[in-house]
């Protein structure tokens, strides 16, 4: 039985889907005005693993992750670039898809864009006005009235009267309560805008997610996810909007992933301490980044450093080395204890660090078996690849992972032959010179009793 930590109750609880055998899940995606950084990568990978595991368990999963393609920052950036905001967002949506594909993330079933759901957003705002949860300000904006929703603050554990709105931001005098947030914002001159019953404008950020999740998954669905920072106010506001508009329960389980940090500080655009996914992928294979993300439990902080990325790289090399030269063609494994433990730890709120520990124990068993029980080694290797696949790891050909594809393998093979000749002549100086030469090229040799193999450092 899969147990998931629910932010709403601060406890792990069994997943009991609304429809038997089907799971509906919505995850807040990116605002597309720049490249993805490692923090975005974490969200993508964490929920990719969750969805992969749900599917492995046999659930029919409907996974929705939205794209915010209209907001202040997008308008600002488009103006700075002197381009239409659609050109900007299309470009960064493309970049985001490239990054997530590289990381081995299976694309969500639907990735709705806010600008494609304007009529649905308007309809939901109208429902909120009808239900007396929203009002029109002097400036013409439509705002949500926080005080109209009794459960406001339940998700984040905050109380309206304890929140110090305006402490770090100017209070908008036209709002009834400073915590009230905009549902529909009047357009300024030359801003992108859409017609609405309240005048031309654009939707606020929070209402987009309420409208799109409801349209895609219905009024009430199973899991809603996103980064910790969205807990308040974004997800709090979503609950207020959706439950205010539909008068039904919105979401059963709220999942929030922890931050990526640098030197114990949150990685973020505003602090300027971020690495984009594509920067990292210039130095490391994408699977190393994915592995690195899985070394920490999804709710824990994840500190980013070169040392940790290098450790992840070493660790992944060890796993692929265990798979090397073994037929992993889906052989069944006589020992199902690994699989059972895998399921047990994944059932415990997706405990990926424990999964990695199991993968290492498997690779250890493979290495031991490979000299005197090759059939067993092969079966264990199949199991390793199979279990790794459930979390999106170890699906590459080990030779390609370890050697890369950009290497000039012919010249390397020639040098290995030359070295073999030198060794047969007991010319150790020449043999070591060749090995050093390859080392300079980033190639390390491994002599086996019968042959010599090579891999990238």
What is the end-to-end Cα distance of the chain in Å, rounded? 41
Which H/E stretch holds residue 387?
A: helix 374-390
β-partners of residue 14 are 3
**Of residues 147-206, which lie at the interface with RNA (CB under 7 A)?**
156-159, 162-169, 178-179, 181, 205
Minimum distance, C-beta of residue 449 to RNA, in the bound complex (Å):
7
Find the binding residues for RNA in span 411-450 (CB under 7 A): 423, 428, 431-432, 435, 444-448
Convert residues 347-386 into a mask of x (bound to RNA by CB under 7 A) and - (unbound): -x--x-xx-xx--xx-xx--xx------------------
| 314 lies in the binding site for RNA (CB under 7 A) | yes
Nearer to RNA, 52 or 313 (CB): 313
CA–CA dist 336, 113 (Å, integer): 44
Q: Report which secondary-structure segment, H or E, holds 287.
A: helix 286-294
Q: Which of 15, 23, 24, 40 binds RNA (CB under 7 A)?
A: 40
What is the spatial distance between Cα 149 and Cα 155, in angstroms, rounded to a whole number? Answer: 13
Instruction: Tell me which of 2, 25, 43, 121 binds RNA, using CB under 7 A.
Output: 43
Closest approach, Cβ 134 to RNA, in A, equals 17
At 314, list the tokens. Answer: 């070493």
Give the residue with the Cβ less far from RNA, 19 or 357: 357
- Partnered with residue 194 across adjacent β-strands are 201
Other CB atoms within 10 A of residue 347 CB? 17
Nearest-approach distance from CB 342 to RNA, in angstroms: 13
Q: Angle formed by the axes of helices 374-390 and 337-347, to 10°?
A: 10
Of 207, 267, 277, 323, which lies in the binding site for RNA, with binding defined by CB under 7 A?
Answer: 267
Window 208 to 227, contacts with RNA (CB under 7 A): 226-227
State the number of binding residues for RNA (CB under 7 A): 87
Please, are residues 100 and 44 in contact by the beta-carbon 8 Å criterion? yes
Which one of residues 1, 189, 307, 405 is an interface residue with RNA (CB under 7 A)?
307
Return the structure tokens found at 203: 């939707």
Using the minimum distance from each CB to RNA, give the nearer residue, 91 or 234: 234
Q: Which of residues 235-254 bind RNA (CB under 7 A)?
A: none
Q: Is position 278 an interface residue for RNA (rule: CB under 7 A)?
A: no
Nearer to RNA, 328 or 363 (CB): 363
Q: Should residue 279 be labelled a site residue for RNA when binding is judged by CB under 7 A? A: no
DSSP string, 1-56: --EEEETTTTEEEE---SSTTEEEEEE---B-SS--BHHHHHHHHHHHHHHHHHHH
Residue 45 is a binding residue for RNA (CB under 7 A): no
Residue with tokens 């000039």: 408
> Is position 285 an interface residue for RNA (rule: CB under 7 A)?
no
Quote the DSSP letter at residue 160.
Answer: G
For tokens 């265990």, what's the residue? 322
10 binds RNA (CB under 7 A): yes
Residues 83-142 that bind RNA (CB under 7 A): none
| The binder of RNA chosen from 93, 136, 228, 396 (CB under 7 A) | 228
Residue 36 vs 216, nearer CB to RNA: 36
CB of 24 to RNA, least distance (A): 19
Residue 134: which H helix or E strand, with range?
Answer: strand 134-136
Q: What's the Cα-to-Cα distance from 280 to each of 26, 38, 341, rounded to whole Å?
A: 27, 8, 32
Q: How far is the CB of 396 from RNA (least distance, A)?
A: 17
296 in contact with RNA (CB under 7 A): yes
Closest CB to RNA among 18 and 281? 281
CB neighbours of residue 357 within 10 Å: 13
């Amino acid at each position: 039985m899969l147990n998931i930590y629910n932010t709403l109750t601060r406890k792990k609880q069994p997943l009991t889907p609304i429809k038997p055998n089907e799971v509906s899940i919505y995850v807040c995606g990116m605002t597309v005005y720049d490249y993805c950084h490692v923090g975005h990568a974490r969200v993508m990978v964490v929920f990719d693993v969750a969805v992969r595991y749900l599917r492995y368990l046999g659930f029919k999963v409907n996974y929705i992750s939205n794209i915010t393609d209209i907001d202040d920052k997008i308008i600002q950036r488009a103006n700075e670039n002197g381009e239409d905001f659609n050109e900007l967002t299309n470009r960064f949506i493309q970049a985001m898809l490239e990054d997530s594909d590289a990381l081995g993330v299976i694309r969500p079933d639907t990735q709705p864009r806010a600008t494609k759901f304007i009529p649905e957003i308007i309809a939901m705002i109208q429902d909120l006005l009808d239900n007396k949860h929203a009002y029109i300000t002097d400036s013409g904006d439509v705002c949500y009235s926080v005080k109209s929703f009794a459960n406001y603050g339940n998700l984040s554990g905050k109380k309206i009267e304890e929140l110090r709105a305006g402490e770090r931001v100017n209070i908008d005098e036209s709002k009834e309560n400073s915590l009230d947030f905009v549902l529909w914002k009047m357009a300024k001159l030359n801003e992108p805008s859409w017609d609405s019953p309240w005048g031309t404008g654009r939707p606020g950020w929070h209402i987009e997610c309420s409208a799109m999740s409801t349209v895609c998954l219905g009024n009430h669905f199973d899991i809603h996810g996103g980064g910790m920072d969205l807990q308040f106010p974004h997800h709090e506001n979503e609950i207020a909007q959706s439950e205010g508009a539909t008068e039904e329960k919105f979401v059963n389980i709220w999942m929030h992933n922890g931050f990526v940090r640098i030197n114990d500080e949150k990685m973020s655009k505003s602090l300027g301490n971020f690495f984009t996914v594509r920067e990292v992928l210039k130095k490391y294979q994408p699977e190393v980044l994915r592995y690195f993300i899985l070394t920490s439990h999804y709710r824990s902080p994840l500190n980013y450093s070169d040392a940790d990325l290098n450790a992840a790289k070493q660790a992944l090399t060890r796993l692929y080395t265990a798979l090397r030269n073994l037929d992993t063609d889906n052989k069944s494994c006589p020992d199902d204890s690994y699989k059972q433990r895998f399921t047990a730890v994944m059932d415990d709120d997706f405990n990926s660090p424990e999964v990695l520990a199991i993968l290492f124990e498997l690779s250890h068993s493979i290495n031991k078996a490979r000299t005197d029980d090759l059939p067993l080694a092969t079966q264990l290797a199949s199991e390793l690849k199979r279990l790794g696949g459930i979390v999106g790891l170890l699906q590459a050909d080990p030779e390609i992972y370890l050697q890369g594809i950009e290497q000039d393998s012919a010249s390397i093979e020639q040098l290995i032959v030359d070295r073999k000749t030198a060794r047969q002549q007991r010319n150790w100086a020449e043999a070591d010179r060749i090995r050093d030469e390859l080392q300079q090229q980033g190639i390390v040799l491994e002599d086996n009793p019968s042959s010599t193999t090579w891999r990238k450092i």
